[in-house]
Amino acid sequence: MEGSSLRPGQGAARAANGARRRPPAGRRAEVREANETAILAAAEAVFAEYGFHGATTAMIAERAGLPKANLHYYFGTKEALYKAVLENILALWLAPVRNFTDESDPAQALADYIALKIEYTRTRPQASRIFASELIAGAPQILDYLSHELRQVVEEKSRVVRRWIADGKIGPVEPVHLFVTIWAMTQTYADFAVQIAAIQGKEALDDGDFEAAKRFITAMVLKGIGVKGAG
């Protein structure tokens, strides 16, 4: 019963990696990719707005412009679709930390990192919110990822920070808390944007808010952890 020739299920898991531009691809593959992309985009929007439980596959399908049965053909279950969305988000989330290397200058590296994080927050607030909801719920889907891949990356980057400290380039701080608070400060402008807007009497944040946030956070962090030759 499982060995049938049908091919539903995990389809778009592949769309998560960088394997874009395959060979010309027949019409079939083209349509498949277009549909998967449409569904993933719709799912991101709906999951961000209503949360996993609040979202319905009917909403997502409608937003993607496809029948609900079609969505289930591509992704199987709501949960599988949610996982596919999360995978894309995790890749996005982790990208900025890459240019955080031994050689880099603390002031520059931190400023760049904060700038990238704020940019992520500004351009992909929905992604940020889905990630946040997942964490608040206890990370049922990504706990494994957090305690392995992410943990490893953090440890690696922590070593960079400790080197900076040893070299007297910054004051003595616990690297993990530095990372955690940078994530928190930047992401708050996506996740809790309504609150920040509301207390300013605005309906939504604008580019100026993000620019000011970036400046404020950068200045406070650089000065706060004693980066030499900053602020």
Partner DNA sequence: GCGAACCTTGACCAACTGGTCAAGTTTTGT
Partner DNA sequence: ACAAAACTTGACCAGTTGGTCAAGGTTCGC
Residues in contact with a copy of itself by CB under 8 A are 49-54, 129, 132-133, 135-139, 143, 146-147, 150-151, 154-155, 173-174, 176-178, 180-181, 183-185, 187-189, 191-192, 194-196, 198-201, 212-213, 216-217, 219-226
The contacts of residue 30 (CB under 8 Å, 6+ apart) are none
The contacts of residue 204 (CB under 8 Å, 6+ apart) are 193, 197
Examine residue 31 and tell whether it contacts DNA (CB under 7 A): yes
- Name the residue with tokens 């004693």: 226
Taking the complex as a whole, how short is the minimal distance between the CB of residue 2 and DNA, in angstroms? 11
SS3 181: helix
Task: Enter the DSSP assignment of 200.
Answer: T
Q: Choose the binding region for DNA from 4-12, 142-150, 168-176, 206-214 (rule: CB under 7 A).
A: 4-12
Taking the complex as a whole, how short is the minimal distance between the CB of residue 180 and a copy of itself, in angstroms? 5
**From candidates 47, 74, 120, 164, binder to DNA by CB under 7 A:** 74
Q: Which does 216 bind (CB under 5 to 8 A by kind): a copy of itself, DNA, none?
A: a copy of itself
Q: Choose the binding region for DNA from 24-32, 114-122, 202-210, 215-223 (rule: CB under 7 A).
A: 24-32
Taking the complex as a whole, how short is the minimal distance between the CB of residue 119 and a copy of itself, in angstroms? 17
Positive or negative torsion for Cα 140, 53, 35, 67? positive
Buried b / exposed e along 134-172 (16+ C-beta atoms within 10 A): beeeeeebbeeeeeeebeeebeebeebbeebbeeebbee
